[in-house]
Amino acid sequence: MTNPRSPLGHHLLADFHGVAPELINHPGNIARYLEEAARCIQVTVLGCHVHHFGEGGGVTGVLLLAESHMSIHTWPELGFAAVDVFTCTPQPPHEAIRYLEQVFKPGRLVVQQSLRGVEQG
Amino acid sequence: MTNPRSPLGHHLLADFHGVAPELINHPGNIARYLEEAARCIQVTVLGCHVHHFGEGGGVTGVLLLAESHMSIHTWPELGFAAVDVFTCTPQPPHEAIRYLEQVFKPGRLVVQQSLRGVEQG
């Protein structure tokens, strides 16, 4: 149970600042963006759940993936969207973030990367 | 759009190593653990989606929260579970992780904490 092994997954946390509010306030669009981001990294979508908090109140959504998950939470009033992409694939899922960067055109993008399931050395 | 403000959320990534496989292989139990963890941090569950990859193949699940999300991905064959809890609450959601630690009794628990939505100084 404790044999050393490669990390089991890559987890990217991406903060999109300075996004035009109209880009992150429509649940149908957000679902489409997430599904397109999933296509960019060639993962399998098991389910999509997007919730709208009402006009101007933002959107929260999750894609359940065979390879883990992708999520987004938006604050249109602040021009902010928080995304995370976790995949148990050999390569980190940067292409998903790059696609969303093209869509959201943020003034500032901050990405943190974590390895998941790393065994003790 | 770029006024300084407090972080918008806390994101905890928790790796549970050395977990008994039978604790992390049942989708019904996993859904119950996630919902109980949500109760521990007093958040509102909007939806729960749990997928089972078949006998011994592990479980992947997400709770959509009014305050963001919680996820779990399990590898029973490795005794490993990856959890993340993201909440836009004033306090980080450590109690959710503590509850799961009591349930899973991991040999080793590694928690990373990230602030989300931090404005430039």
A119 at the B interface (CB within 8 A)? yes
Residues B12, A93, B84: CA angle, nearest 5 degrees: 15
Across the interface, whether the CB atoms of B9 and A82 are under 8 A apart is answered yes
The ipTM value here is: 0.93
Does the reported pTM lie above 0.90? yes
Check residue B121 and give its pLDDT.
Answer: 58
Check residue A55 and give its pLDDT.
Answer: 83
Residue B3 in this model has a pLDDT that exceeds 80: no
In order of their start, the domains of chain A are: 9-116 (3.60.90.10)
The pLDDT mean for chain A works out to 94
Residue A1 in this model has a pLDDT that exceeds 70: no
Residue B66 in this model has a pLDDT that exceeds 90: yes
Check residue B108 and give its pLDDT.
Answer: 97
Nearest by CB to residue B13, choosing from A11, A66, A110, is: A11
